[in-house]
């Protein structure tokens, strides 16, 4: 009877984490969906759309970088639940404020604050679920969190299509505030509670840099996730500009593209999780996903005269390729002990998101020299090559016992 009650609590935790990530994704990608509409409304000329869009997106990513470290330290020192409450409150309030902006600098700074808040949700949720489930079942839990969570992008698209871009931000912030009420019945990770009184360093970023093997392990965790946000943040978000270079039949919609990409990511997360359980290997799944990314990205970037229908199909297929997001975060969490696990699981996805900054800088530097299509191809191939190399340096973590600490 007690075991049944505990199982119900765990699955309640999975549900709450899934809904939290749903809201997180909505607020995370809403700018990519409403970029053109909101910029037009506040008077940004077409010639500045791409550059100003990269600036605002990079400010959000910078916030994610800082927030990843901040929330990771809090999660390992004071508990995973504190992060789930604090982060969602911050990004919900920031998104409400976003509905009132009227210029690019203010827009960028509010997205920066939102980015700090958005940094805590996924890592803390994945860590909490991973530590609360049986080791041979935790892949299912993290799969559900990501599979349900990324559907927030679909809602973001439809809200932005039905209402104004300002209302879309208000809805995102309002959902976050409502979600806080659902969090009341959740519980702290048992593994964190057990090690809370142990005399070991907790949430110490310094520990990641004072041991060569541990640092390389961490860098490889980051490396395997690098292609994900370039696909979403550049290949799909800049669909209007890439479509022009491809002589598209009609202007390509970034909003529709993001929606179909996240449909693919949602399905991809589920398939990646199931395949990992079947193969008992997360590394094989990530390698296969890299091959999908390269194949579908090259198909997209060589589709001259591309139609809207083909673009949306390819956006969905590229989403399938980058649908190893939950697997990537799970691998990062499984590579480290309880006293560093949340720090790694929270910083890794946000550093990967933040890596979009140097990726877009490199891409932006290559565009004038090689053209937008060849620049996008080159950066995609480079990031996937780094991911494959990093993957070869990591140990398989499937079915690994997580009840240990880093010393």
| End-to-end Cα distance, the chain | 38
Dihedral, 148, 154, 158, 161 alpha carbons, nearest 10: 150
**Residue 27, pLDDT score:** 85
| CA 273 – CA 142 distance, rounded (Å) | 8
> What pTM value is reported for the model?
0.76
Residues of the chain scoring pLDDT < 70? 1-7, 135-136, 182-205, 401-407
Q: Answer positive or negative: Cα dihedral of 317, 279, 217, 130.
A: positive
Residue of 25, 26, 129 lying closest to 349 (CA atoms): 25
**Residue 135, pLDDT score:** 67
CB-CB contact of 120 with 132 (8 Å): no
Any idea which residue has 């100003």 for tokens?
A: 52
CB-CB contact of 62 with 115 (8 Å): yes
Length of the chain: 407
Q: What domains are defined for the chain? A: 2-186+205-392 (1.20.1250.20)
| CA 366 – CA 375 distance, rounded (Å) | 5
| CA 222 – CA 349 distance, rounded (Å) | 8
**Collapsing DSSP states into helix, strand and coil, what is residue 265?**
helix
| CA 292 – CA 231 distance, rounded (Å) | 12
**Residue 237, pLDDT score:** 85
Tokens of 339: 């006293």
**Collapsing DSSP states into helix, strand and coil, what is residue 367?**
helix
| CA 158 – CA 255 distance, rounded (Å) | 9
How confident is the model over 241-253, as pLDDT tens digits? 999 999 998 889 8
Q: What is the DSSP letter of 235?
A: I
Q: Answer positive or negative: Cα dihedral of 348, 354, 358, 359.
A: positive
CB-CB contact of 387 with 226 (8 Å): yes
CB contact burial 256-286 (16+ within 10 A = b; e otherwise): bbbbbbbbbbbbbbbbbbebbbeeebbbebb
| CA 20 – CA 16 distance, rounded (Å) | 6
| CA 73 – CA 201 distance, rounded (Å) | 11
In order, the DSSP letters of 326-346 are: HHHHHHHHHTS-HHHHHHHHH
**Residue 191, pLDDT score:** 52
**Residue 32, pLDDT score:** 79
């Amino acid at each position: 009877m007690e075991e049944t009650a505990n199982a119900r609590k765990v699955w309640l935790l999975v549900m709450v984490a899934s809904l939290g990530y749903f809201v997180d994704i909505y607020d995370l990608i809403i700018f990519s969906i409403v970029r053109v509409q909101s910029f037009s409304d506040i008077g940004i000329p077409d010639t500045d759309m791409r550059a100003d869009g990269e600036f605002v997106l990079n400010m959000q990513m910078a916030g994610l970088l800082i927030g990843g470290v901040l929330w990771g330290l809090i999660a390992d020192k004071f508990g995973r639940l504190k992060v789930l409450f604090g982060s969602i409150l911050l990004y919900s309030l920031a998104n409400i404020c976003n509905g009132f902006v009227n210029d690019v600098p203010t827009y960028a700074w509010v997205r920066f604050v939102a980015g700090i808040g958005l940094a805590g949700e996924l890592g803390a949720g994945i860590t909490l679920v991973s530590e609360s489930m049986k080791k041979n079942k935790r892949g299912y839990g993290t799969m559900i969190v990501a599979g349900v969570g990324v559907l927030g992008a679909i809602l973001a698209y439809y809200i932005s299509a039905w209402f104004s871009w300002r209302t879309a931000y208000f809805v995102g912030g309002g959902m976050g505030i409502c979600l806080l009420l659902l969090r009341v019945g959740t519980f702290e990770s048992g593994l964190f509670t057990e090690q809370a009184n142990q005399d070991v360093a907790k949430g110490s970023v310094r520990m990641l840099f004072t041991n060569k093997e541990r640092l390389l392990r961490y860098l490889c965790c980051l490396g395997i996730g690098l292609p994900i946000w370039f696909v979403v943040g550049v290949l799909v978000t800049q669909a209007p500009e890439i479509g022009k270079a491809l002589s598209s039949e009609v202007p390509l919609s970034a909003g529709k593209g993001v929606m179909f990409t996240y449909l693919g990511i949602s399905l991809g997360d589920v398939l990646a999780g199931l395949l990992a359980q079947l193969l008992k290997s997360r590394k094989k799944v990530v390698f296969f996903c890299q091959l999908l990314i390269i194949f579908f990205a090259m198909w997209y970037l060589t589709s001259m005269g591309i139609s809207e229908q083909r673009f949306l199909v390819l956006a969905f297929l590229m989403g399938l390729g980058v649908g190893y997001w939950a697997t990537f975060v799970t691998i990062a969490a499984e590579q480290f002990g309880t006293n560093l696990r949340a720090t790694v699981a929270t910083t890794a996805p946000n550093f990967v998101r933040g890596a979009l900054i140097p990726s877009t800088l490199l891409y932006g530097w290559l565009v004038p020299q090689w053209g937008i299509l060849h620049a996008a191809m080159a950066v995609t191939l480079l990031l996937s090559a780094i991911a494959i190399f990093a993957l070869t340096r990591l140990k398989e973590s499937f079915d690994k016992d997580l009840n240990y600490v880093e010393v």
